[in-house]
Each structure stands twice: as structure tokens, then as C-alpha cells.
Structure 1
Amino acid sequence: MTRRKDELNTTSFAMLGMLAIRPWSTYELAKHVDRSLRPLWPRARSNLFNEPKKLVVHGLATATEEAVGRRPRTIYTITPAGRRALRQWLGTPGEGPVIEFEQLLKVFFSDHGTKTDTLNAVATIKDWARERNAQNVSVARDYLAGTGPFPDRAAVVSVVGRFHTDFADMVDAWADWATTTIETWPEDPSQATPDWTIMKRIAQRDPDQR
């Protein structure tokens, strides 16, 4: 079934959640979506200009025109109906995580490339992990210094921040292991010998293991 363009989706509710924090202009939304939502839901950034308008059509937000000097701007504010819709959405289970990881995709197809290309892909993955954690550290330090943008949301920010930090740590550790493993491969990765101990270790895990 084709989804209608005006139908509410997860990105719609992500925007609604942002409006529940405070009213925003589109420019302000762009700035804070990049900081907070992009690591969790990158599609929110690409649909940034459409979703708030959709919320207005559904009566979940209002749009008010203001002037900043000579430049007009639109301020979006959540409505009572929007808060009710957000609470209802928060009470549903939601879908599990989906990884969208171009660098890892290149590793997946590395048997059609070269060992050097594969090592370079893993190196960029490690760079990403370190970059991500530098951002995590910066956010945590801002809140500890009392300069975080939403101090009343610090409890929520710390819980999600722990996930981001643990995930980046895991990716960083994996990149170290992958580099060591791939360095033993021949230049043609399609001729590499599998590390069956890794496969056995995965196969022997209890799916319910915590």
C-alpha cells in the first residue's frame, strides 16, 4: 500500500516531540534536529521543511508568522491535540533499530574490492566512532557545567547519551578488531580464510543472553 504524503509517520511524531519541548522556527529546528535527532532518526533532517506543515494541516501544531528585522519567519507551536497525539504515540511499542551504515556496507561487499579499500573503510568507521564520542563528551560537559540547552530534560538526555556513547565505544572496539583481522587477508579479500572461531562463538550464544 502506498503511503499518502499527508499521512503521519515516525518523522511526523519526531517533529511533534520537538515542538512539545518548545516552539521553534524552521531555522531553530534545523539546528537542534542536527544536534539531537539526527543520530537517532536522520530522516527528520531531510523532511524538516515538510513535517511541521503537515502537523499544522492535521491540527497538531500552529504556524505563526513573525518578522525578525526585515526577514519573515514561521514559528511552529504544538496544540493540545498535538500533545494528546504525542502521548498516544509514545504509548505504542514502535519498531526496533535499523542500521543505515554506508561504510559497513562497503565492508560487506569487500570481497569485490581490495584489502586496502576495506582497511580504509574500517578506518573511516573508527574515525566516525571517535567523532561521535567527541560530540557525546561535549554534550555531557555542557550539561554538567549548567550550559546544556534544556536542563529540565537532563535525565532523558543522560539515558539516551549513554546509548550513544556505548554504541560508539562498541563500533570503535569492533573497528580495532576488524583492522587486525583484515590485515591478515591477502590483497584479494575474496581469497581470505574465514575466522571460524568467530562464527562458532556467535553460533553458540544463547539468544536470550544478556
Structure 2
Amino acid sequence: MTDRNRTLTTTAYALLGLLDIRPWTTYELAKQVARSLRLIWPRAESNVYEGPKALVAHGLATARQEHVGRRPRTVYAITPAGREALRQWRAEPGAGPTMEFEALLKVLLGDASDKESLLTNIRAARDWADRGQQICADIGRGYVQDGGPLPERLPIISLTFPFLLEFAELVERWSERAEQEVRRWPDDPTPADADLSQFQRAAALKPAAGG
């Protein structure tokens, strides 16, 4: 990978990957990012609108001005250099997931919390899981009913989609178990009895190589 391409962020490569599928206007890119990436790579819409300009500056994309009626719009397309940069990026091992889960963090640091504060954050996690499953349901119905907006990509999408659905289901299962457990605790959770079953299950797992 060239030094120039090393300056690109993962978000820039994500946009480049979308441009590899077909040309998009900035508005279309923002909609596609919201549809397909928000559960695995959520980014502010402002980043999506500015990102293609950086790709053009690096020679990895082109920008073409068009008009729809009197309204101007910019259409971005990938260049051969962009496809080569994307090929190199795809070939490198990607990093594993990095979790930012504020509700879980508040539960983890809940030693001095009251019972209701713990339940509030556990319910917030469940609400997130409900929204995630609804997003997956909407996407799933689209592909089942009419093949979705990019049916030619279905084999690739079918690899990643189950992870998103199962992760949302995992958070829901955890939140349900956690709520049931905390409801049994006294208002001051400090003296509550710990459930050691998951520690015992983990202890029985095969140790990592070299561990």
C-alpha cells in the first residue's frame, strides 16, 4: 500500500468500496451508508458528505457535475487508482470489533448505583437491541420481497447480515437475563449474591494457544 493510501481512514475506504459498486451522488452515498453500514460502521452524515472530496483529492475518485432540472448535483465514481487502493486494503487483515457500549459500561461501573439505575441501563440496552432487530427486519423484508436495491450483492450481504441480526439478538438475551437477575437483588445491590454459572462455563473453555 502506498504512503498516500496509508493516510486514508477506514471510513474513506468504506466510501471507496461503495463507489466500487457503482457511481453515487453524495446524497445517495449518505442514504446507502445509513442503510448498509450504520450497524457496523456508524458515522456522522457530515463525514459522508465530506469523504468523497478527500477521495477525489487523492486521485481515487472523480467528481462529475450534473443537473436534475435546475438543481445541481455531484456524482462520484471510482478511478483505476481507487480500485487498486481498495484491492490492497481488502487484502490486508482487518481489525476485530471494538465495542462502545455506554449502557453496559454504566452497568459494569454500577457498584455504587441503586437498583433502579442498573435496571434503567439494562433496559436501554434492550431498547437498542429492539431497534437493531427492527433495522434487520426491514432489510430482510426488502431482500425477501424484491431482492433489495443491490440484488447482485446478495451473496456477500448474506455473509455479514447474520452477524448483525445475531448480535442484536445477543444483546436482547443478555438484557433479559440481566434484568431478571437484578430484579431479585435488594435496593442496595452491594450484598447481592453473584451468579457464577457463566464464570464456570468460561473456565471450562479450551485455553488459547500459548495461554
- Same-fold call, TM cutoff 0.5: yes
1:136 equivalent in structure 2: 136
Q: Which amino acid aligns with 1:73?
A: R
Give the paired residue count: 205
1:73 deviates by: 1.7
SS of 1:186's equivalent in the other structure is: coil
Q: Separation in 2 of the partners of 1:113 and 1:21?
A: 49
User: For the aligned residues, what is the CA RMSD?
Assistant: 2.1
Q: Separation in 1 of the partners of 2:40 and 2:99?
A: 10
1:44 deviates by: 6.6
1:172 equivalent in structure 2: 172
Range with bigger deviation, 71-80 or 52-61: 71-80
State whether structure 2 residue 198 is matched by structure 1 residue 201.
Answer: no
Q: Separation in 2 of the partners of 1:187 and 1:63?
A: 60
Q: Which amino acid aligns with 1:156?
A: I
1:153 deviates by: 0.5
Structure 1 residues 59-78: aligned runs within 5 Å = 59-78=59-78
Q: Separation in 2 of the partners of 1:191 and 1:79?
A: 63
1:203 deviates by: 2.7
Structure 1 residues 94-105: aligned runs within 5 Å = 94-105=94-105
1:159 equivalent in structure 2: 159
Range with bigger deviation, 10-19 or 114-123: 114-123
Range with bigger deviation, 39-48 or 107-116: 39-48
2:56 equivalent in structure 1: 56
Q: Unaligned regions of 5+ residues in structure 2, if any?
A: none
Q: Give TM-score, length-normalised by structure 1.
A: 0.89
Q: Which amino acid aligns with 1:76?
A: Y
Residue-by-residue CA offset, 1:33-75 (whole Å, 9 max, x unaligned): 0111111111374521222111111110001122223322211
1:38 equivalent in structure 2: 38
Structure 1 residues 115-130: aligned runs within 5 Å = 115-130=115-130
1:8 equivalent in structure 2: 8
Range with bigger deviation, 190-199 or 117-126: 190-199
- CA distance 1:105–1:17, change in 2 (3 Å): same
State whether structure 2 residue 135 is matched by structure 1 residue 149.
Answer: no
Q: Separation in 1 of the partners of 2:71 and 2:172?
A: 45
Q: Separation in 2 of the partners of 1:132 and 1:90?
A: 27
Q: Separation in 2 of the partners of 1:67 and 1:18?
A: 22
1:110 equivalent in structure 2: 110
Q: Separation in 2 of the partners of 1:71 and 1:130?
A: 39
Q: Separation in 2 of the partners of 1:7 and 1:92?
A: 15
CA contact (8 A) 1:38 1:44 kept: no
- CA distance 1:20–1:44, change in 2 (3 Å): farther
Post-superposition, which runs of at least 4 consecutive aligned residues in structure 1 deviate over 6 A? none
CA contact (8 A) 1:19 1:76 kept: yes
Q: Separation in 2 of the partners of 1:177 and 1:53?
A: 47
Q: Give TM-score, length-normalised by structure 2.
A: 0.88
Range with bigger deviation, 53-62 or 109-118: 109-118
CA contact (8 A) 1:110 1:189 kept: no
Q: Which amino acid aligns with 2:13?
A: F
Q: Which amino acid aligns with 2:169?
A: D
